[in-house]
Amino acid sequence: MVIMDTSIIGVALPRIQEDLGFSQENLSWVFNAYVVAFGGLLLLGGRLSDLFGARRMFSAGWAILLIGSAVAGLAGTVGVELTGRAVQGVGAALIAPSALTLLMMLFGSDPRELTKALALYGAAAPAGGTAGVFLGGVITEYVSWPWVFYINIPIAAIALIAAPALMPAGGLGARGAVDVVGALTVTGGLGAAVYAIVRAPEVGWGSVETWGVLAGAVVLLGIFLAVQASRREPLMRLSIFRTPNLGAANLAQVLLGGAWIPMWFFLNLYLQQVLGYSAFPSGAALLPMTILIMIGMIALAPRAINRFGPKAMIVTGLVVLAAGMGWLSLIRPNGNFWVDVLPASLVAALGMSLAFIPSLGTAISSARPEEGGLAAGIVNTSYQVGSALGLAAMTAVAASYGADQLGDVAALTDGFSFAFLGAGLIALVGAVIAAVTLRTRQAEEPITTGTSAAKQS
């Protein structure tokens, strides 16, 4: 649901623009308002999960998402619509880290079962993205655009009813207080950074606005680090990054998001703007890739991790992903799905399915058990920030090579091709960094709840 809420609105945007009076310039903020709130609040969501209990924060997140969805669907003005989307992002920032913590609580005692559970968790992300494309097209065409938000309400209600019965209570969480200064500075800093990144292609990377906001983000994050170093009960214990493999696995997630999201984004544009697919067939064209990711994450990745170890799979997956991107860069203006899209997208999907689960599992399981929420918040933040950075950078690359010339399929194809090449380079850099920074001995131990890592640290 968290991922679906980023993709389901795509097809509905023209209708939302027409009904609410969005300008072409600020229409993108129907998407960005959600992403900025989500990315900026993930660390706080993880800390709150540790302090007050994962199940409580999981339920609170669904309640907030329900409210935000109702507001977004009922909105009659631009301001109310963006407020609803931001509230949805707040709910998602509580759901995502607490969900991972609950998963660790349910399956952490059995490494093999935990690997399978993480595989199912990982497979849900591409499924949610594709479901969003499908449902957004169907709902917008046959019902009305507010239902792309209303669809969250019954699902949130079911989650609120089911959570007390199905999810472990886990006590009251860890003792401690909320680091208010830390929460405000890291949320403001990450939010400002994401804001600057997603807005830069619109106002220019060299603009005063972009660099001013980025400078503000650096100052806020600097204050955050200083506060964390001096507090007895910080929002994020800085020494957590001394834990073997935690920082390396999170860096792998940053670069994985930075490669994968631009590929998914520009593949959609190639299908629609060059090959001439409408929204619904475009979503259908992504189904083979999505199915392979789900099969790979559920069936292939766990067995490969148990046999070869997480490090080998992270490096291999990133290399395969880079190869798929390189193949996609060969797209043609007069191409077709069977030659230009399907085989290359399946190679990229295989790489994603191999790298995602071991990097996610290593990042979560390396932390102390009582800091599971924080570790989940960090890894979710890593992936989201990497996604925003990668998409913004590749948008600028694509535009510089012709992707801003709507109607000129040759120029569009050149722009998209260079975006695929750039995303492939990100994946290749990720493979090299993972090979250098991940520790083989610890990384190739089964994914556990982090108890052994905590003892060693």
Arithmetic mean of pLDDT, 309-338:
94
Considering the domain architecture, whether residues 315 and 327 belong to the same structural domain is answered as yes
Give me the CATH number covering residue 121. Answer: 1.20.1250.20
Arithmetic mean of pLDDT, 217-223:
93
Q: Is the pLDDT of residue 327 over 90?
A: yes
Q: 85: pLDDT confidence band, cut at 50, 70 and 90?
A: very high
pLDDT tens for 104-133 read: 888 877 877 887 888 788 778 777 777 787
pLDDT tens for 299-311 read: 888 888 888 889 9
Considering the domain architecture, whether residues 116 and 143 belong to the same structural domain is answered as yes
- Structural domains counted in the chain: 3
293 or 71, which is more confident? 71
Considering the domain architecture, whether residues 276 and 410 belong to the same structural domain is answered as yes
Considering the domain architecture, whether residues 23 and 166 belong to the same structural domain is answered as yes
pLDDT value of position 448: 44
pLDDT tens for 429-448 read: 999 999 999 887 543 444 44
End of a domain among 129, 150, 175? Answer: 175
Q: 198: pLDDT confidence band, cut at 50, 70 and 90?
A: confident
Considering the domain architecture, whether residues 316 and 455 belong to the same structural domain is answered as yes
pLDDT value of position 24: 53
Considering the domain architecture, whether residues 267 and 358 belong to the same structural domain is answered as yes
322 or 373, which is more confident? 322
For 78, the domain range is 1-175
Spell out the SS3 assignment of the chain: CCCHHHHCCCCCHHHHHHHHCCCCCCCCHHHHHHHHHHHHHHHHHHHHHHHHCHHHHHHHHHHHHHHHHHHHHHCCCHHHHHHHHHHHHHHHHHHHHHHHHHHHHHHCCCHHHHHHHHHHHHHHHHHHHHHHHHHHHHHHHHCCCCHHHHCHHHHHHHHHHHHHHHCCCCCCCCCCCCCHHHHHHHHHHHHHHHHHHHHHHHHCCCCHHHHHHHHHHHHHHHHHHHHHHHCCCCCCCHHHHHCCCHHHHHHHHHHHHHHHHHHHHHHHHHHHHHCCCCHHHHHHHCHHHHHHHHHHHHHHHHHHHHHHCHHHHHHHHHHHHHHHHHHHCCCCCCCCHHHHHHHHHHHHHHHHHHHHHHHHHHHHHCCCHHHHHHHHHHHHHHHHHHHHHHHHHHHHHHHHHHHCCCCCHHHHHHHHHHHHHHHHHHHHHHHHHHHHHCCHHHHCCCCCCCHHHHHHC
End of a domain among 140, 156, 175? Answer: 175
Considering the domain architecture, whether residues 78 and 115 belong to the same structural domain is answered as yes
pLDDT value of position 263: 87
Q: Is the pLDDT of residue 91 over 50?
A: yes
pLDDT tens for 229-286 read: 888 777 777 777 777 788 889 999 999 989 998 888 788 778 878 998 876 777 778 8
Considering the domain architecture, whether residues 196 and 344 belong to the same structural domain is answered as no
Considering the domain architecture, whether residues 42 and 164 belong to the same structural domain is answered as yes
pLDDT tens for 390-411 read: 877 888 788 888 887 878 899 9
Averaged pLDDT of the chain: 84
Among the ranges given (108-112, 325-329, 410-414, 417-421), the one the predictor scored with the smallest mean pLDDT: 108-112
pLDDT tens for 141-191 read: 788 889 999 999 999 999 999 999 998 876 555 566 677 788 788 878 877
Considering the domain architecture, whether residues 45 and 144 belong to the same structural domain is answered as yes
Considering the domain architecture, whether residues 248 and 313 belong to the same structural domain is answered as yes
pLDDT value of position 453: 34
Q: 140: pLDDT confidence band, cut at 50, 70 and 90?
A: confident
Considering the domain architecture, whether residues 191 and 283 belong to the same structural domain is answered as no
End of a domain among 234, 256, 271? Answer: 234
16 or 430, which is more confident? 430
